[in-house]
Structure 1
């Protein structure tokens, strides 16, 4: 399945949009120590008037500013290996910035802001790319990640339409039902866990007994058939508007 088609299942739920947002870099174990090491350099530099306070505000507000800039339409969950790669990149740029250099007035805050913006972009892309990669499978999949909200381990769940035959698709539906059936049965937790599956964010069912799986299967099968039809098209493929299952 082409890259564009593989991403279609995710298009509805991963579009950047106003909504809940978190921050990530502070979940790296070295964050506090590394950022604490940058502040002392500000008092030993001969920078332009106002640059030191501006740089200090940026460093002190790094996590809160990221909170405001990292806007996603999906839960902010990122594989630890990707988080650590991004952290290493950011630390390297900050180390270079504060390594015995002096700058013309106004330059330091600009460079610092540039590093910050690059960090936000890297975090956002890594979160989305991880979801897209998961969606390229057939049926229910999970991957190891860390929550940017709590910095605790998590397993994001996705449902992909990349099934090549009706037999694979039937197995995917069975796997989806089994996954839903095994969700937590604690009051309130079942519905919350169900909403974490892409496409089910609108569901209000509070128990498996109230879930209309016949309707869900019919809706998802329409999506799959549309995906299969798109594979037969040549040239640029239109974005598929996936139907949300009626729960």
Structure 2
């Protein structure tokens, strides 16, 4: 059975497409950092159902009016490398249409600079984030190992003067570039790690548990063998008429 799409659905798909045709990342460094940040934030807020986190998801802050549609005006949009939205449920989305999300704007945005990012494009993004409610904005340049951050003060995003060791007011995570690359740390001090590192860590923990069990089983086997030998000795002494308790 072929599902018939309503005119409204078709119109929404045309007006607010789920893709801008651009790649998620221009290089492996950018992609790795995006995944590490996204994965770390997912882990940080895994027990909270009211925190939505996305990577490279189109965000439409304002719905077009009918007059704007007739004038063929294009909706405003941006796709942060990573964005965090407090107050919205987890779940899959094709895009983030703010008017369908109780008009809750994302509060935190991360951008990882790539060679394909032009200065004009980054200025456009900054103005967009400033205009549409981002409260914390972080921009990292891997090539220069340079991190910048901005915090909302009223209607403007003001640059954070010292980013080394900075702790995000909303996320509670700590930033550093002292290791030669951007590193983020959970409130408990644990570093954000890549997926492969997480698997390796899991495998190490499994191996350690296995070896610990092997050692415990071996120690128990040795102790049981010793108990059997002692019992056999006691039994032999009793057969000889000697009280084992009388021996020194």
- TM-score, normalized by length of structure 2? 0.27
Q: Whose strand fraction is larger, Structure 1's or Structure 2's?
A: 2
- TM-score, normalized by length of structure 1? 0.27
